[in-house]
Copies of this chain bind each other. A is one copy, B any other.
Amino acid sequence: MPETKNSRVAQADADPMFIERWSPRALSPEPLSEKEIMALFEAARWAPSAYNDQPWLFRYAATEAELKQFRNILMERNLLWAGKAPFLAFLFARRKFNHNGQPNNWAVFDTGAAWMSLALQARKMGLYAHAMAGIKKEEAYRILDVSEEDYEAVIGIAVGRYGDPQLLPENELVREKYNMRRDISDIAVKGLKKTE
């Protein structure tokens, strides 16, 4: 683990898994086992969702042939590090509810919950999950043959064991550290006080 391990400071007594989870770029190319991959999705599967619609769809690659195709959906900058990951996924949110075909205004929100579960389960197995906001969405729909009318492409995900940070390009190596967070008082406001 990088020496930045303890640079984060807790403000309350939550489970250490939250403060210890982070998103490194130095991922080892060592493959994930089928058991590990299924555990990632098992965790994501149990996330709560509006009307229990479970609007998340993971499209994933875990063999070199699959990864080669999936890398075409990554932005150039992410390709520099995520291009070596042994597991890539693109996460989609289904736009309409299954039970009535109406727009699901919580689809993206609920999909975020499923992603968080996957990321925490990764750490439970010694893996790291790193989300990529910037992806080539048009390529995601096209290459993966997913209907843009039915699904919204939300993020890309790289998963792997921790690798050798010295193998990162210099511009990426300087970003290889724990990032910080706002204070609790900035994100949680009690009672009727104004936000600004």
Contact = CB atoms under 8 A, between A and B. Distances in A.
Nearest to A89: B188
A109 B61 CA distance: 22
A191 interface: yes
A189 B58 contact: yes
Main SS class of interface, A:
mixed
A187 B52 CA distance: 13
A66 interface: yes
B15 A106 contact: no
A164 B170 CA distance: 58
A175 to B, nearest CB: 11
A173 interface: no
Contacts of A58: 187-189
A88 to B, nearest CB: 11
A14 B113 contact: no
A124 interface: yes
16 contacts: A12-B35, A14-B39, A14-B46, A18-B42, A18-B121, A19-B42, A21-B48, A41-B187, A48-B119, A54-B181, A57-B188, A60-B189, A60-B190, A111-B112, A120-B120, A144-B192
Interface of A: 8, 10-15, 18-19, 21-23, 35, 38-48, 50-52, 54, 56-63, 65-66, 69, 93, 105-106, 108-117, 119-121, 124, 131, 133, 143-147, 151, 154-155, 179-182, 184, 187-192, 194-196
